Structure 1
Amino acid sequence: MGPTTRRSRRRRCAALLGAAALAVTAGGALATPAGAAANASANASVNVDFPTHCIPPPVAGLPPIDGTTTAKIEVDNASPKVGDTVGVTYTVVSPAASNPTDLALPADIMTPTGKVALGGAQTGAVTVTGPRKNPPVPGRGAFPSFSMTGTFTVTAPGAITLSPGDYNIHTSYILELDTPCTVTDPPAPVSETVTAADDPPANTRAISLGSASGSPGASVVVTGSHFTPGAAVTLAGRSGSAQTADTATVTADAQGAFSGSLVVNDLTTTGVVAYEGGAWSADKGAGPVAYVVVDDTPVPANSQKLTATVKAGTLSMSQAGDSVALTAVDFGEGGAATGALRSVTVKDFRGGPAGWSLTGKVTDFTGPGATVPAGNLSWTPACATEAGSPSTCRAGSAGTVGSAGATLASAADAALTGGEFTADARLSLDVPAFTPPGGYAGVLTLTLT
């Protein structure tokens, strides 16, 4: 066999490998009835089938393939606010087609890219990419699943639908080949829906009191700013998280300011609030500002008056250790190095209306002549609330930590907040296959606000 014949056979092999990659895109995966999307509830990711037209590389000498792709779109936050960034994963799993040739595909030669179509309240396309990573595929064997990820920023409130779009499989073996696949009848069925909330402007309403204490029946001057011009504003006493019977009404001027008096009789009063509307709302109110009713009622003969004070504490955190050893991965294979975050205890002993947020960000992982990017670290947070705590903590969303950071846990604002909480997370570092052997270290910094 001469050199020219061998080169020709190598090119033919490469072409067939390109066609083999095509079988992934034409086959589909995630077997689900075609009507699943129609029966799915909002914010529930479902598998969808859609017809696909794929063009093999010209060197393959094969005609276009018209088949069915089954795919799934998932997001890391199904209830974002306008301005939030949402992570998107476009997955094809267990393709129906298999390698159409007797030639085996080596590992890590396939790199997928694609688009996710947005519809509903926000239109456009999300670019997604996948890693160059696949297990070996034997001749005539089934193809592995593959996933592509990307992000988009929410620009409008309402229901935003996500549908699988066009995608391409790039193979790097002997030759660089592309197999583009397009949705035959776009858009494809909806696989995921996120419901975005409007991001209201920050509440800048504020009040101050003319005095911090007074006798029962005394008036306290309440001054307010940044309320809605011309709005009726209710002034009210608070006893812990409950409103007392002491109220008054004032009207904000054209600049949103007011000054009024509130007569305070309730001996249990701990603060004063001001709000627009028929009931207290943290979004349209200000306070509470601390106020104490000094009980100056004369003590009866042969009696003793007893008083006690509850002092406000601080917001603090502590962690059970400062190092985590992730599991090892093999050179040439890479994969997930996993571990568990050292538990973090949050103590909110302030006794006010403010909630808290615990966030984390990580540096790149540096090692012997190479770096694993910070964006390769992801976590799955968890949070537990100690019994009897006024607040309830909420775990952050699973996803990438990265250098930009992500939320580990939080507690919302409320009339009365506080308590003790334990935050944890499962950690996973995606290590590329041929990362040089050795130790790699990054620093995860936690911030409590």
Structure 2
Amino acid sequence: MALAVGAGVVGLAAPASAVTGTATASMHCQLPPGSPSPNPRDMNSTYTVEVPDEVQPGDVLPAGSVKVTPSPTGVTVPLQLTLTMTPSVTFELENAGIPAGTKVTVTGAVQDPQTVPANGEPSIAPWTNNAPITIPASASPGAIKWLADSSKTITTITNPPLGAQETTCTANAPKVAIVTNQIPVPTVPTTTKLTPNNGGPGTAVTATGVNFAPGPVTCTASLAGVDTDTGTGTADAAGNATCSLTVTTKADSIRIGATPGKAFVWVTPIEGVPHPVDIEVLPGALAIGPAGGLPTLDLGSITINGKSQTVTGTFNAAAVQDFRGGSLGWDVTVTRTPFLNTATGHAMNTAALTIAPTCAVTNPDSPSPCAVGAAGAITDTPKQVASQAPGGEELTGGEFAVGGGASLKLPPFMFADAYQSVVTFSMA
């Protein structure tokens, strides 16, 4: 990554949790007249946000169900003032089926007046939504990510009587993901394995499964959806089922209960002289490339103006290949070196670089999907940006492209120079 500074998006992310998340949001704020300089200014405030668990698109959240707890703002007032505040935060919602840019606002009730001494710091008490919030409907049920978009506090100043003053703050890009409500994965009965998974007439097969009601179970062989042979078994108190049957006629699937079946390979008995044909399939590589490295991400140039500035770009995608032929997973992480000019010795030690990761399947025959890591800062500590979960009894692997959006927040002052940092994508 290279950046030329002629004559200079905030790394804002926090891991999501089940119902509560905390993150530091960097806001660009226009303060009321008479506030200490600079005005406007950049401020950081830590928000803890609580949302109901199991919220689905289309739900209506009742008043009082979303709670916002801010940290001190770091803003001081030059004179003793009596303030009354009405706070709110607007969130952008992310879900595969919700239209991009969809926003909801959590507005609190008018808070009790507070008297702040000269050079003191006003505080904002935690608040909950004072009106119902409708989550837009979506064709993709699932978890919803809440990203802080902007905040607004209506501040009425009564001493001296300056009238209603409004402080408006807008989040610096990229928006910060504060909390993701969890949608529990249904524990549906599942047939997990057949032992053996092939054979001819008279083959004894043991089928196993998970998440069944404790007690007797039935397993069934079928051909093209038509049931053939059946067997019996039991599920223990933990829901682990074991069922045995003997395959007497041709079948292509065996299942426990009403679950989707596992494939069974029918071996037709043939009269004559057998002539076995053997082949060994060797595992391929787990690799990330290209070996020669990715093209430079050039963020262009920017002019020093005495304020923090943000530039954005896109990391070129690294190719991931998992040809191991097993059920293992993998992780891709990123690290970076400091922004330096090795010829002049100048450095931008306070420059904040972040990534909003992406991961796409590039081979449609890939047996596995890939998961995207949370957006956040890139440092010399490895940060996960993409992963493939182990498959258990299922085959994993495939071909993928891992990249993401790049955001760089620059300090207000630095040496005018050309700087470079090397971002490294690594796999394990």
TM-score where L is the length of structure 2: 0.49
TM-score where L is the length of structure 1: 0.48
Q: Which has the higher strand share?
A: 2
Structure with greater Cα Rg: 1
Q: Which has the higher helix share?
A: 1
Which protein has greater RCO, CA pairs closer than 8 Å, 6+ apart?
A: 2
